[in-house]
Structure 1
Amino acid sequence: MIIIFQILKMQMLADRKLWTKPLAGSVRHFVKPFISYHSTKNRGEFTHYGDQMLVLLKSVSPASDFDINHFAESWKEFFKDYTGYIDQATKATLENFSEGKGPGDAGSTSSDLSGASRIAPLIYRYREDLGKMVRYSRAQTAMTHNNPYIVELSEFIARVIWKVLRGSTPSAALKEVLEENFKREPFTERVTDGMDSADMDTRKAISDFGQMCEVEAAFPSTVHLIAKYENDLKTALVENAMAGGDSAARGMITGLILGAHLGYDAIPGNWLSDLKYYQEITQLLENIDRGKKLNSEKTSEVLETSEV
């Protein structure tokens, strides 16, 4: 399970209203959130972004293939009694569902990076099938963030991880995917700006790009983190959190890509042991692997039978 970190993220101090400016020093362990937006959350739990990613992981685990309708029903059910923070994209999507729209057209028009940040379960499930990885990443994003740029960004991230899992460094993969599939604006500008800022202090760079959740600020900030800390996952996520603003979505994508590059051993042990859902996540990933193995065995049996 070398890419298990892709479905983990730092709950520590992660929300767009946490600070109005970066803080001095650093926090290197999970703490209970300090602000009212996450007052119902405890140490080691997820923000509303991670909670939705866990819903996606649960919807992927028992099925032989990803079903957007199943995910939509699970997602709606999850928010019926949710006591955590509900952002505007979620509110708009829930309202559209209540008006009878389906998962293909219920999504908000939000330009928040978060819609493209929760694809980790699909990366894990389809790590050997690029077509499905891309198609389903786009579909799950559009269900809540039906903004063309955010949907395309989810594909961009999926393609980067595909290359990283096959040996490219994160920085090389960012450049390769940009050149091969996304050589157009605003991708060129935002990837280039993020890469060019790698020599800057992270808190200054993210402050300059903007700490907010909107993609025009959050995406180049994420590229900065990936390029600057390509071989240091821990520092990348600590500095991301300490830079303030909406660090959760930035951290999810950074952790996903650097985790795929550096593997399981790059994750501090206490980050795993202190994570509330660690055992559940591990079990869900094992379920996915068992399901893939069974499907492969069934396919082999069918092929053998047809040859007789």
Structure 2
Amino acid sequence: MIPTSDIVFTSLIADALALGPHWIYHQKELKKRFGHIMSYMAPATAYHTGKNAGDQTHYGDQTMLLLHSIAEFGRFDLEHYAAKWREFWENPQTISYRDGATKATLAHLHSGMPPESAASSSSELGGTVRTAPLFLLDWEDDEALFSAARSLTAFTHNDPPVVEAAEFFTRVILAVQRGAGISDALEETAALLHWEAIPTEWFAAARRSSASSASDGEALEGHGLTCHIPDAFTGVCHLLLRHPETPATALIENINAGGDSAARGMVLGMVYGAAFPVSALPASWLSDLNARDEINGLIDKIP
């Protein structure tokens, strides 16, 4: 049986892989400057100044904060996580990119809003990507986990499709963890009738592109490489449908496609981490992950 910890590791590996080329949108520029990226790189843009190859982006940093919170508190508690999150971002020594959702949520917290209503209106997939540590906990039932994923996401991103996407991918990960194939888990989750904010066309577009002759880069560029949920959700589903048995290939194709490869990658990593052991990835991806020992230490503290 694959350890649940591999969901965390594979997600954070995918984030670290994206650090170098993160938010470079022109695929020709990426290829000209770096060739075919297959390993960790220092950041090539100013967004992640101060980071080194093998570090996390700001998405991974927030996932690490959740891991710390769960290790300290013993369970998921939004108040506890929000306090650690706020302390991290208010620390002048913190080296991590403050995106629009972070700035808006901080401003709302400063004004006295409670964590459950302090979110930005950001429509970016980045709100959904921190959930991997939730899978390390024992839940009363699936609905409790779905509620936690929604609550965690809505802390910073109060956009209905983003919040709903957190539940969507949590359902996919659970199904895969319980033995479903990745493609089947996606199809079954997409077929559920209770989705209100996620248009059926998003998944249908991913299904079409995954079966097309377009390269992954062409397909993702066609869907859109931005952070926003319509682009990124569809891009994630495309890669999962096209590469259900080859996680390393999907993660490499993801980073070479450009754009917000970190957010896409973290969701990909959670799904693949539920299906394949981290040992299925190139060994250097784990050995050179700078947070590896810290992650192991925190996981060991969780009851």
TM-score (norm 1): 0.89
Counterpart position of 2:191: 179
Shift of the alpha carbon at 1:194?
Answer: 1.1
Q: C-alpha root-mean-square deviation of aligned residues, in Å?
A: 1.8
Corresponding residue SS for 2:15: coil
Q: Deviations over 1:105-130 (max 9, x none)?
A: 00001000010111000122247841
Residue 35 (structure 1) aligned with residue 45 (structure 2): yes
Find 1:63's aligned residue among 56, 73, 85: 73
Find 2:86's aligned residue among 76, 80, 86: 76
Counterpart position of 2:27: 21
Contact 2:79 2:115 in 1 (8 A): yes
Instruction: Identify which range, 86-95 or 259-268, moves more after superposition.
Output: 259-268
TM-score (norm 2): 0.90
Q: Return closer, same or farther for 1:51/1:197 CA change in 2, 3 Å cut-off.
A: same
Structure 1 segments (4+ residues) deviating >3 Å: 12-16, 22-25, 126-129, 181-187
Q: Which has the larger Rg?
A: 1
What does residue range 102-181 of structure 1 map to in structure 2 within 5 Å? Answer: 102-126=114-138, 129-181=141-193
Corresponding residue SS for 1:61: helix
Contact 1:2 1:264 in 2 (8 A): no
Matches of 2:26 and 2:146, distance apart in 1: 35
Residue 276 (structure 1) aligned with residue 276 (structure 2): no
Q: Return closer, same or farther for 1:183/1:38 CA change in 2, 3 Å cut-off.
A: closer
Which AA in structure 1 matches 2:69?
S
Counterpart position of 1:303: none
Matches of 1:106 and 1:145, distance apart in 2: 9
Contact 1:30 1:43 in 2 (8 A): yes
Instruction: Identify which range, 184-193 or 232-241, moves more after superposition.
Output: 184-193
Which AA in structure 2 matches 1:231?
E
Q: Deviations over 1:222-261 (max 9, x none)?
A: 0011111111111111110000001000000011101111
Which AA in structure 2 matches 1:103?
P
Corresponding residue SS for 1:97: helix
Matches of 1:121 and 1:98, distance apart in 2: 27
The gaps in structure 2 that reach 5 residues or longer are none
Matches of 1:136 and 1:6, distance apart in 2: 17
Q: Return closer, same or farther for 1:278/1:97 CA change in 2, 3 Å cut-off.
A: same
The gaps in structure 1 that reach 5 residues or longer are 292-308
Counterpart position of 2:113: 101
* % identical equivalent positions: 37
Instruction: Identify which range, 175-184 or 96-105, moves more after superposition.
Output: 175-184
